[in-house]
Structure 1
Amino acid sequence: MPAIDRGVRRAARTRFAMVALGGLGALAIITLSLHRYGLSTLSVDLAAIRGWTAGDGLYDYQAPGGETRAALSPALALLLAPLAVLPLPAAGSLLALASVAALVLASVVLAGPIARRYGHRRAMVVLTIAALAMLTSPVRATLGLGRTDLLLFGLVVADLVALRRAAWTRSRATWWPARRASRTLPDRSLRHRLRRVWATGAWAGAGTGLATALAAAPVLFIGYLLLTRQRRAALTALATAATVTLGMLLLAPDETLTWYGTALWELDRAAPISTPDNQSLAGVLARLYGFSAPPVLVWFSFGVLVLAVGLIRARSAHADGDEIAAFTLVALTCAVAGPVTGQAETVWLIPAVLILADTATRRRLSARLPRSARFAGAGFAVAALLGYGLLVAGPLWAYGWNATALALIVLVNALPWRYGSAPAIPELRPAKKPAAIPVPRGG
């Protein structure tokens, strides 16, 4: 027993030391990012919010010495309003800490099933993935510029938890009918109802709806939910987004009407579309043609094609049980087809690299796959290494060659998904009809 106690204490000290080192490393990255980027986006947003509270219009503010204007929704402005009373470094630090917390929680959702599949400790795998993600350029830019992309990322990823719980509930009702047919009196207390809502995943779509109300880009996830016939989650997302929007319409009618009527459609409000930081298809086309904006017909044609390919592949990934890959494909499609995709908005490349690495490991360790398939796993491993190298590399090298835009387009068309990787027990499907011509055994 004493030897066992010493081993337990040694393991606890090791975990505490690793968590402490991880926290110090996160603080160092936050400090360097704040110094490198100078919270330029947050400074414009907070200045616009201060002018709004003083009686001016939220979208009337313009940064001195430039053409940068506030490009945040009224709901997001209301969320950031408490930071406007703080000094800029303090506000940026608080927003960065909240973003890091969202990144760690998202890492639990994305990397937890992978750790469980390979028999590793979830905490160590999650901390490792989060530490590697902290080194990437999208995370550094989000923290340094003072953007909320990691918070939106966490909200969308939270719906993955709800969808998993909903799938588990449906599966359990299928293989455990006695539980479903129970005649015991239900507990109608508020605490029990809230616990049931959490356990059954009935809140699926709330995170996506809130993210859609804060920023327009996540609306594509609602379209994906409708496409994959996850109607309850889609309706929850629509109801959440509509509730927040109507609430802002009552609180700030002028700003809400201005945002949805004018400011949202000013694509060059924060920066010109042709800027090298814009790694969307529109930015690439604008730079290729040498214009400040892309040719509308060319952009629309290729954008619709990319949108169709991305949503079709996301639906296939959902049908094969890989909801993480489906969400990643939707986000990458939005990044390619959208008008503006800055450095901070490519954060969904991180789960894409994680999917590539997991696919390579699965093919390498699977004994049932033929040698050619395991050889293809080496290609996925190389792609994961190159993708992570691209994320860690500085924006000057990646953006100068449009490397990030090219990676986004390639991943939309070639990102693999893992068959049956969902942790929930699959639902029992009706048996297939017997073939008209029986196949001999062993055929």
Structure 2
Amino acid sequence: MPCPEDETGGSRAMPVIEKRSLRAAQNRSVRLAVGALGTLALVSLALSRYDLTALAVTHAAVRDWLSGAELYAYREPVSQAGAALPPALAIVLAPLALLPLKAAGWLLALSGVAALLLSAVVLAGPIARRHGRRRTPLALTVAALALLTEPVRAALGEGRPELLVFGLVLADLVALRRAERAGWWTVHRPAPLADRLRQSWADGSWAGVGTGLAVAFAVTPGFFLLGLFVLRQRRAALTALTTAVTATLAGLLFAPRETLSWFGDTLWELDRAEPLNAAGNQALAGVLARLYGFPAPPVLVWLAFGALLLAVGLIRARSAFAEGDRVAAFTVIGLAAAGFGPMTTPAELIWLVPAVLVLADGALRRRTGVRRTRSHRYGAAILAAAALSGYALLVIAPPALLTWNGYAFALIALVSALPWRHRPPVGAPARPSRRVAAIPGPRGG
């Protein structure tokens, strides 16, 4: 039998432990409540500032479409902007047209915030694991910092689905990680459907579904489909292609006239949303159009520079992927796609956010690495300065960035020089890779 001292000590200790647990739970609840209220306040400010300019056009066009008119016949009375969304996305967003514009904007914005949170978990998880930290606090911090940047604010405030597309592409990053651990050619024994689905989710054999849906919902993710082939992820690329074709055929089944009109005419109207030479267009096409003083850039010049930028991005992404940095590989592809695309507004520059995270993590790796030579310290300082200045510019977003094509030059610089983080073999000390990249560039250690 326990002695009285043990019983007394236990009876005294239990309330203390319970109080500490209760206090910790209360602190977590308070932090979550403050974070939720802050998020709602930021979303409200973004909606007020940008006034759902993009969603207003889509909302009106889809409403007219549900009433019997053609989806792409609508034009906004003042700006003459038309809807520029694929039929598959129009079908998904059709329920929002039944709601008032503000309610639809809030629902789309909250969905975008949820996608951003999940994306932050995907991006910050490996960093937290490598430094022995908890994943959730770092992911919440990354998501909170991302909410303050101009691309996220503009996507939420204008009512664009950019964050949802961003989350779909990053979902394939999770699948590729799981596939690497499990092996692509895992043999599935006969089992009930529920067990097979759980096994497929665990081993990442669904990689490519997110990219395929993103391709069906937007044009720019098509570069990620090409990127999967370049990264030698052929099974994921074929899955993405099959998913995109399936979603497109579903759109053809439910909206045949709109699907034919989209691929026949609307897709090629590059200035449908706004003129290509508008200051908000930070793609190469916009820069060249303003440089030449034309409404649209010279096609051959644009395609030549764009193809060069895309080739550099794909080659560097392949090198980063081979070194084990999948986040940097996907980020470089996203940046190259934003630079090559004919229309890239600040709301579509979401891949600048993970680029800043890659720079910051590269600086941290060099600073805390085993070999802290003078070159490593200088490299860490340069990467840290680039990350801090880049993030500050994304938060402040001065008008001069648009006037002086700041976002466009940032895209070109990051595609050409974004460092990736070398992953040493398991159980081996970190050492520089002897592999020579086709297009060399700085690496994050």
Q: Same fold (TM over 0.5)?
A: yes
Asked whether the 8 Å contact 1:137–1:395 carries over to 2, the reply is no
Give the corresponding residue for 2:149: 136
Decide which of 182, 190, 198 is 1:195's aligned counterpart: 198
What's the secondary structure of 2:363's corresponding residue?
helix
Give the paired residue count: 415
Give the corresponding residue for 1:170: 183
Give the counterpart letter for 1:99 in structure 2: G
User: Are positions 1:402 and 2:405 aligned together?
Assistant: yes
1:233-272 → structure 2 map (5 Å cutoff): 233-272=236-275
Give the corresponding residue for 2:366: 363
Which structure 2 residue ranges, 5 or more long, are not aligned?
A: 1-12, 429-445
- Superposition deviation, residue 304 in structure 1: 1.1
Give the corresponding residue for 2:102: 89
Give the corresponding residue for 2:117: 104
Give the counterpart letter for 1:292 in structure 2: P
- Superposition deviation, residue 22 in structure 1: 1.0
User: Are positions 1:318 and 2:321 aligned together?
Assistant: yes
User: Are positions 1:125 and 2:128 aligned together?
Assistant: no
Q: Deviations over 1:161-192 (max 9, x none)?
A: 1000000102998xxxxxx8xxxx94511110
Give the counterpart letter for 1:42 in structure 2: L
- Superposition deviation, residue 14 in structure 1: 2.1
Asked whether the 8 Å contact 2:223–2:333 carries over to 1, the reply is yes
Cα separation, 2, equivalents of 1:205 and 1:387: 31
Identity %: 58
What's the secondary structure of 2:73's corresponding residue?
coil
Asked whether the 8 Å contact 1:282–1:337 carries over to 2, the reply is yes
Q: Quick one: structure 1 residues 342 and 425, their matched pair in 2 at CA, closer, same or farther if it must change by over 3 Å?
A: farther
Give the counterpart letter for 2:202 in structure 1: A
Give the counterpart letter for 2:107 in structure 1: L
User: Are positions 1:149 and 2:162 aligned together?
Assistant: yes
Which stretch of the first structure deviates more once superposed, 15-24 or 71-80? 15-24
Give the corresponding residue for 1:275: 278
Asked whether the 8 Å contact 2:184–2:205 carries over to 1, the reply is no
Give the corresponding residue for 2:346: 343
1:191-230 → structure 2 map (5 Å cutoff): 191-230=194-233
Asked whether the 8 Å contact 1:42–1:145 carries over to 2, the reply is yes
Asked whether the 8 Å contact 2:360–2:384 carries over to 1, the reply is yes
Give the counterpart letter for 2:87 in structure 1: P
Which structure 1 residue ranges, 5 or more long, are not aligned?
A: 174-179, 427-443
Asked whether the 8 Å contact 1:209–1:239 carries over to 2, the reply is yes
Asked whether the 8 Å contact 2:151–2:349 carries over to 1, the reply is yes
- Superposition deviation, residue 206 in structure 1: 0.1
- Superposition deviation, residue 371 in structure 1: 2.0
Q: Deviations over 1:47-98 (max 9, x none)?
A: 1111111111100000012221111111111111001111111110000000
Cα separation, 1, equivalents of 2:369 and 2:130: 13
Decide which of 85, 90, 93 is 1:72's aligned counterpart: 85
Cα separation, 2, equivalents of 1:11 and 1:397: 46
What's the secondary structure of 2:71's corresponding residue?
coil
Query: What do you get for the CA RMSD once the two structures are aligned?
Result: 1.9
Asked whether the 8 Å contact 1:171–1:425 carries over to 2, the reply is no
1 or 2 for the larger relative contact order (CA 8 Å, sep ≥6)?
1
Give the corresponding residue for 2:6: none
Query: TM-score scaled by structure 2?
Result: 0.90
Q: Deviations over 1:122-168 (max 9, x none)?
A: 11111111000000001110111000000000000011110000001
Give the corresponding residue for 2:332: 329
